[in-house]
Amino acid sequence: MTAAGTTTRRSSRKAKGDGYLRRAEILEAAERIFVVDGYDGATIRKIADEVGVSSTALYMHFPDKSAILLEICERTIEVLLERNRDLAAKPIDPVVRVKMMLEAYMRWAIAHPNAYQLVYSVPRPATATWAPDAAADLSAQCYDIFAGVVREIAAVGRLRNGSADAAAQALWMCCHGVVALLAARPNFGWADREELIRITLDGLINGHVVD
């Protein structure tokens, strides 16, 4: 995707007094621009043009682009955190829970490729202001919940080898590789996504867990 690709998405400038500007509209436009142009290449003017409003109208909702980036990251990770909490609490085999959590992670990433790249694939801009870094805290909570279930598997001696922490990190990293490539290379001739998810998860679980 090129910077020019954002041009076709731009709305016509909203007429004065046309109504209200939704924050969600700004966040969606900003996601696309941050991924294409990077944080430093994105400007309030570009985001405003993508939404179809004036820069002044956008500033009524966000003080600067750093605040926009932070809210995108927080909102995105909060969705995953809630899913992890729900799945981790299910009274079922921890192996099944881990597989469900990995599948939920992959499907969440595939459903929101721009937000996913922004949170997990695009380098954090040194020029952005992050105080406090709530997004990093939410991301750490997501991982800790997942790793806790992997530790349950290790506690009953069902890991084939390695420590629980190493297994948890390897499982997460492998799934990240699949969804990150799907997001970054959408025009490659990928196999059916349902098949990719199934093969990835079956291979990971069979390779790490003893029946």
Domain with CATH 1.10.10.60 in the chain: 3-59
Average pLDDT of the segment spanning 19-42: 78
Class in CATH terms, 72-208: mainly alpha
pLDDT at position 160 is 94
CATH architecture of 3-59: Orthogonal Bundle (1.10)
Average pLDDT of the segment spanning 73-93: 91
Phi first, then psi, for residue 16 (nearest 5°) are: -60, 130
Judged against a pLDDT cut of 60, whether residue 89 lies above it is answered with: yes
pLDDT at position 198 is 97
Average pLDDT of the segment spanning 91-119: 90
**Measured between alpha carbons, how far is 7 from 174 in angstroms, rounded to an integer?**
34
For the chain, how long is the longest CA-to-CA vector? 66
Residue corresponding to tokens 């079922």: 92
Neighbours of 33 (CB within 10 A): 23
pLDDT at position 142 is 92
Q: Quick check: 128 and 64 in contact, CB under 8 A?
A: no
Domain with CATH 1.10.357.10 in the chain: 72-208
Query: Which residue type occupies 17?
Result: G
**The whole model's pTM is what?**
0.75
